[in-house]
Amino acid sequence: MTEQPLLSVTDLRVHFPVAGGGLRRRQHAVVRAVDGVSFTVAAGETLGLVGESGCGKSTTGLGLLRLVEPTGGRVSVRGTEVTALRRRDLRAMRRHLTMIFQDPYASLDPRMTIGSVVAEPLAVHGLHRGSRARRHRVGELLELVGLDPDHAHRHPHEFSGGQRQRVGIARALACEPDLIVADEPIAALDVSIQAQIINLLEDLRDELGLAYLFIAHDLAAVGHLSDRIAVMYLGRIVEVADRATLFARPAHPYTRALLSAVPLPDPVAERARERIILRGAVPSPADPPSGCNFRTRCPAAFDRCAVDDPVLTARGDGHLAACHLSDDGTG
C-alpha cells in the first residue's frame, strides 16, 4: 500500500481578473498566474519549484496556504482538503503548514522585538502558555537557527539580512510544522550568506524531519537541497524529476536552458559547453500562446506545438515532462 503524501496539490489554479480599456469600452482579461498545477510532497521530502520570475512559483506557495484564494483545484494536507476549510479550521491547519518569506526586511514587523516575532505563532495557536514557558521556547528556537537567545529583546533593524532570515525561519518552526513553504528564502541575501541559509535549512530538515516546498529561480540552489525538482513556466509545471535525473537527462527544452545557466565547477567544461539563450520575452499570463506555452521561445518548436497543448507525460521512474518532443529529440 502506497503511503499517503503529506501534501497533495491537484489542478491548482489562481487567476486574477484584470479590467482594462478606455472610457467607452472596458475589456476584461484574466491573468492565469497558476494554471493547473499538480504535485505531491512526501513526509520528510524536499520538492524544489523552480522557474523564471513571474512564472507563478510564489503564487503557488501562497495558494497552498490560502494567503491568496485559489480559483480552482484541490490542496490536501494529510488527506484534509485545505481548499474546503472554514476560516477557524484553516488557522489550525496553518500550524502544520507554515511559510518562510522571501524578504527578511519586509516580513518582520520593525516595531516588535525578535522574541515577540517568534512568539507570535505560539500565542495565535495557544501553545507553550505562560510567559516563562513561552520565553523558554523562543530561546530554544533562536538557538536552533544559530542566534543568541539573549538577543530576543532586540529589534529587527539591529540584525543583518541573514540574521533576520534566521528569525523568519525560527518563526516558521515555532509550531513544529510538518511542511514549510520556503518562498525564495535566499534571493534577497548576499551570495556569501546564501550557502549558510541553505545549509541551515538542510540541517533542520534532517534534525526535525521536515518537508519543504523550496521555491527558487536558481537551479543550483534548488539542486543542492531538493530530492525532486518541478520546473515551472508561465503558470504550469513542464517537468518533474528527481534531482539526479533532471540534471543528467532533462527532457524539456526550458529545463535544458535553465541548466545551461548553472555554472560548472570545472572551468574547462564551463568554457566548452553550449549556453542556451532563449529568444524573446516571457509571454503575458493574460494572453498565453496557443498550444504549448513555451513554443514562442523554444529552439526546438515545430508545427504541432502551435496547435496541441502538451500534458505531463511519464518518461520513466517518476520523470514527467510536458513536451511533444520524444526523449531522442524528435517530434
Phi-psi region of 128 (alpha: psi -120 to 50; beta: other; left: phi over 0): left
Angle at 300 between CA 232 and CA 52, to 5 degrees: 25
**How are beta strands 211-216 and 179-183 bridged, if at all?**
parallel
Which pLDDT tens digit goes with each residue over 149-168? 999 999 999 999 999 999 99
Helix (H, G, I), strand (E, B) or coil at 152: coil
Asked whether residue 126 is assigned to any structural domain, the reply reads: no
Asked whether residue 88 is assigned to any structural domain, the reply reads: yes
Q: What gap in Å lies between CA 13 and CA 124, rounded to an integer?
A: 29
Asked whether residue 140 is assigned to any structural domain, the reply reads: no
Torsion of CA 314, 298, 238, 47, to 10 degrees: 110
Asked whether residue 175 is assigned to any structural domain, the reply reads: no
Q: What gap in Å lies between CA 206 and CA 209, rounded to an integer?
A: 5
Contacts of 35 (CB under 8 A, 6+ apart): 13, 15, 56, 234, 235, 236, 285, 288
Asked whether residue 80 is assigned to any structural domain, the reply reads: yes
Total domains, the chain: 1
CA end-to-end span of the chain: 37
Asked whether residue 76 is assigned to any structural domain, the reply reads: yes
Burial of 192 (0-12, 13-18, 19+ CB in 10 A): exposed
Q: What gap in Å lies between CA 272 and CA 265, rounded to an integer?
A: 13
Asked whether residue 152 is assigned to any structural domain, the reply reads: no
| Predicted local distance difference test score (pLDDT) of residue 116 | 95
Does the pLDDT value for residue 320 go beyond 80?
yes
The helix (H) or strand (E) run that includes residue 112 is none
Asked whether residue 260 is assigned to any structural domain, the reply reads: yes
pTM of the complete model: 0.91
Q: What is the CATH number of the domain that holds 68?
A: 3.40.50.300
Which pLDDT tens digit goes with each residue over 51-109? 998 899 999 999 999 999 999 999 999 989 998 898 888 888 888 999 999 888 888 89
Count of beta carbons in the 10 Å neighbourhood of residue 39: 21
Question: What is the domain range of residue 269?
Answer: 1-19+29-96+180-188+207-331
Which pLDDT tens digit goes with each residue over 20-50? 655 444 456 899 999 999 999 999 999 999 9
